[in-house]
Amino acid sequence: MIETFYSSGTLQSPQAFLVAFLIGIVFGVILEQVGFGSSRRLSGVFYLRDMAVFKVMFTALVGTAIGYGVLEGVGLVSDHNTHLVSTVVGANIVGGLIFGVGFAMAGWCPGTAAVGLASGKYDAGVFLGGIVIGCILYNETFPIVEPLHNWGGAGAHFFFDTLPIGRAGMTLVMLLAAAGCFYVSERVENPASKKFTMKDNKVVIAVLLVFGAVTFGLLIVPGQGSAGAYRGRGLLEAVEEGLDHVDPPELARRMVAGERDLMLVDVRPEDEYNRFHLKTARNIHLSDLPGALAPYKNVGTIVLYSNGMTHPAQARDALTRMGYKNVFILTEGLTGFVDQCLTPVSLRDEPVPEALAQEIRLWRAFFLTATTRTARL
């Protein structure tokens, strides 16, 4: 399993920004090379005269699904070390409509507009200026649009989880859909053509089908990679490999670093929570967890803790059966966290390395000097 910036909690680090910058540069060069630095070509899809955008986007979608499936099948990545975007029905519908109308009117999307501006297209700069103004208006009017922002929050869901076909079956469906869409695109662009030859697309589709077959093979073989992680014996494997919990020092470091999308959930009784709880932790009763955590399903990292590990482990198991793949437990619970991270160095039985002693002093300042306010969902 590879360590990602997301799984290591270093998305805000300079290294992550540098990698993102370099990827963006390469991506921009590729977009320019394929002609996506032109608003005329981009808008051609709306007039059914140039389906390049449709074909490239569909290829990217299918290629990503296949690539992720292969990497997951060989055990290099999993849903645990990948950021999954949450589904929010209201925001997705309205945002999609606004994005679609804006794309049709201007001929740009945010990424291609950046490429166009770098190529000297002034209309791309106007489009990007409109995005900035829109972001400012959204921020200033957020109290008004907040209900829409949260309406229909369902966490991160995979479409294949709602069907009996699984990830492998969904991959094949997408491949067949891609082939069909390439065919339709060719006929739309060349309506007078009586014979469909696939032209250059036959190579692309052949590659997609080969990778799709590999993905299908990797995903249907029992026990391969993390496909179906936390389904069946996947949870037991995660427990055996220690992938189901977060150690106190690791949690302390991630919190001090200000990791986003890290949610702490205190499942103890309210009176115990009020006496002392970890900074930012939210107090949720065990019976309320499914409803309270629904908007965060498979989004970010959820860490459950109590004084020990019994109740958090039971809750984790129950949430896992409900499809949650981002729920972890705190090793040794709050008691272990206090012992390992908050006990003064002078009161410990064994000498502590200076580097760790400095961290302990930092953790004590972070967790004990700030007021811990009661926060309930």
Residue-range domains of the chain with CATH:
14-220 (no CATH), 235-368 (3.40.250.10)
Q: Residue 167: CB partners within 8 Å, gap ≥ 6?
A: 69, 158, 160, 219, 227, 228
Q: What is the pLDDT of residues 24-69, one digit of tens each?
A: 999 899 888 878 888 888 888 888 888 888 888 888 888 888 788 7
pLDDT value for 195 = 54
- 127 pLDDT band (50/70/90 cuts)? very high
- Residue 307 confidence (pLDDT): 92
- The pLDDT tens digits for 144-191 are 888 887 777 666 667 776 666 667 777 778 878 877 887 788 778 777
> What number is the average pLDDT over the span 118-124?
88
- Report the alpha-carbon distance of residue 239 to residue 359 in Å, rounded: 28
From residue 351, how far is each of 133, 345, 354, 360 by CA, in Å?
56, 8, 9, 13
pLDDT of residue 129: 93
pLDDT, the chain, mean: 79
Here the tokens at position 257 are: 């670093």
Q: Which two tokens stand for residue 338?
A: 């206090």
Q: Distance between terminal CA atoms of the chain?
A: 34
277 torsion bin: left (phi>0), alpha (psi -120 to 50), beta (else): beta
d(CA 100, CA 184): 21
Of 188, 48, 53, nearest in space to 108 by CA: 53
* Secondary structure of 239-282 as H, E, C letters: HHCCCCEECHHHHHHHHHCCCCCEEEEECCCHHHHHHCCCCCCE
Between the alpha carbon of residue 339 and those of residues 19, 56, 283, 333, the distances in Å are: 37, 54, 21, 10
Q: How far apart are CA 80 and CA 316, in angstroms?
A: 14
